[in-house]
Structures are given as structure tokens and as C-alpha cells.
């Protein structure tokens, strides 16, 4: 049960229902979430680690995908506080996110800050909000200092632009920005601005 498949299948089913039939008491919905929460979710970390995933950073990226399913149906994510703790532990001293298997990848950076943002919204800022704000600021500094390129945009990789996308070569190894790196970086920066300015700049959005 991969996170993206989990949420995509759930969204398809949910959208087939009429408004009056959409309910968390729907037998399929109950069984669907029960399967995840009993078989995949690790209650100690709040991450989907029990399916065999060996990397907490990758499990966090899985949570990014899974949580969109919870948002689709309006269901509260269990052990959100544990998940916040786990994601915050993934931040390196330089402000990027990852672990010993995945370090500082742009997708991991965005996944991490998105998960923190959405769980913070769900908990209405009641758990470690100041730590989340600090994490956002540290990531923003990292992106501005490492991923920002002389052309003003942001690169997907720390030192150069994205060279492949979905197995298709898109560029040579240039020290310049690219659309994917810029888009993800701007989202991360906008979340930090939301917390610092106390305004909501973007609604729920995933790539």
C-alpha cells in the first residue's frame, strides 16, 4: 500500500459518492483507514514504517502522500504529535531534511515542511508550533543560501539544475535554476512566511 496509491484510490472512491453518502462511517472508508492504521502506521513515530520502509525520511515522504487522503475525507490523523516529533528530528544542522539514506533532496525538503504545516493546521498550532516555525526559517535560509542561483530562481539540486524528469533528460548540468526547484522552493518559503506573518498564503496543495 504505497502512499500515493492509498490517497488516489481513496479520492476516486470518495468522489463517486453523493454528498449525503460521504461519511467516515462508510464501511469501505472505515476498513480502508483501519488497514493503514493497524498494519502500516508505526504508533511510536507517527510514520508509515511498518510496511518495510527502512528510511524515516522516505517514510515521511510516504506520510505526505497518505495524509492527502485524510484531508480528502476530513479525517483526523492519529499520532500527529509523534509525526511532528519525527519530522523535526529529520532536519540537519544546515536546515535541510533527510537521514543517512536520503539527505537534502528537494522533494524531501518540501515533503517535510508540508507535513509539518498540515499537521500544525490540524492541531491548530497546539503542539510545538514555535519549533515548527523555527524549522521553516532554517529551511528557508538553506534554500536561499544553497539552492538560489545567480539567475534569481532555485535549482532542484544544491549545485545545479534538474537534468532528468521522469527518466527524460531535460538539461545539461548547468549552475542555474529550473522550474521544479523554483516551484518547490517558493512553496517552502511561502510556508515560512505564513508562520512569520501569521497569514495563509496558499491553500492545501500537492504536486
Q: What pLDDT band is residue 3 in, cutting at 50, 70 and 90?
A: low
Write down the mean pLDDT value for the chain.
91
Establish if 174 belongs to a structural domain.
yes
Instruction: Report percent pLDDT > 90 for the chain.
Output: 80
User: Which residues form the domain of 111?
Assistant: 3-197
Range of weakest confidence among 24-33, 140-149, 198-207:
198-207
- Quote the pLDDT of residue 29: 96
For residue 176, being part of any structural domain is answered with: yes
| pTM to 2 decimal places | 0.89
Q: pLDDT digit string (tens) for 104-155?
A: 789 999 999 999 999 999 999 999 999 999 999 999 999 999 999 999 999 9
pLDDT tens-digit readout, 29-57: 999 999 999 999 999 999 999 988 999 99
Residue 94 domain-assigned (yes or no): yes
Residues in CB range of 120: below 8 A, 6 or more apart: 84, 127, 129, 132
Note whether residue 206 is domain-resident. no
Identify the three-state secondary structure at position 168.
Answer: strand
* Residue 207 forms part of a structural domain: no
pLDDT of residue 206: 45
pLDDT at 202: 52
Tell me: pLDDT of 167 over 80. no
Domain count along the chain: 1
In the predicted model, is pLDDT for residue 79 greater than 50? yes
9-17: which pairs have CB atoms within 8 A and are 24 or more residues apart? Answer: 10/69, 10/72, 10/73, 11/68, 11/69, 11/72, 14/72, 14/73
Residue 98 inside a domain? The answer is: yes
Please report the pLDDT score of residue 207 as a whole number.
Answer: 39
- pLDDT value for 1: 47
**142-170: average pLDDT:** 91
Taking each helix axis as running N to C, give the angle between helix 179-197 and helix 106-122, from 0 to 180 degrees, rounded to the nearest 10. 30
pLDDT digits (tens, 9 = 90+) for 7-20: 999 999 999 999 99
* Residue 97, in any domain of the structure: yes
In a domain, 162, yes or no: yes
Q: Mean pLDDT across the stretch 21-31? A: 96
pLDDT score at 76: 96
The separation between CA 52 and the C-alpha centre of its own chain, rounded to angstroms, equals 20
Establish how many alpha carbons lie within 13 A of residue 175's alpha carbon, considering only the half-sphere containing its beta carbon: 4
Amino acid at each position: 500500500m504505497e502512499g500515493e496509491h492509498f490517497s488516489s484510490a481513496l479520492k476516486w472512491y470518495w468522489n463517486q459518492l453523493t454528498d449525503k453518502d460521504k461519511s467516515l462511517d462508510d464501511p469501505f472508508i472505515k476498513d480502508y483507514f483501519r488497514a493503514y492504521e493497524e498494519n502500516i502506521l508505526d504508533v511510536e513515530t507517527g510514520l508509515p514504517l511498518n510496511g518495510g520502509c527502512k528510511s524515516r525520511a522516505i517514510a515521511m515522504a510516504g506520510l505526505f502522500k497518505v495524509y492527502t487522503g485524510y484531508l480528502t475525507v476530513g479525517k483526523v490523523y492519529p499520532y500527529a504529535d509523534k509525526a511532528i516529533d519525527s519530522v523535526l528530528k529529520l532536519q540537519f544542522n544546515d536546515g535541510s531534511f533527510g537521514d543517512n539514506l536520503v539527505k537534502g533532496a528537494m522533494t524531501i525538503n518540501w515533503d517535510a515542511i508540508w507535513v509539518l504545516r498540515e499537521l500544525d493546521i490540524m492541531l491548530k498550532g497546539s503542539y510545538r508550533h514555535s519549533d515548527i516555525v523555527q524549522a521553516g526559517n532554517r529551511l528557508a535560509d538553506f534554500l536561499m543560501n544553497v539552492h538560489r542561483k545567480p539567475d534569481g530562481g532555485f535549482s532542484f539540486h544544491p549545485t545545479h539544475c534538474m537534468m532528468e524528469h521522469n527518466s527524460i533528460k531535460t538539461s545539461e548540468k548547468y549552475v542555474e535554476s529550473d522550474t521544479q526547484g523554483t516551484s518547490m522552493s517558493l512553496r517552502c518559503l511561502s510556508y515560512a512566511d505564513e508562520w512569520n506573518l501569521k497569514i495563509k498564503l496558499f491553500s492545501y496543495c500537492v504536486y
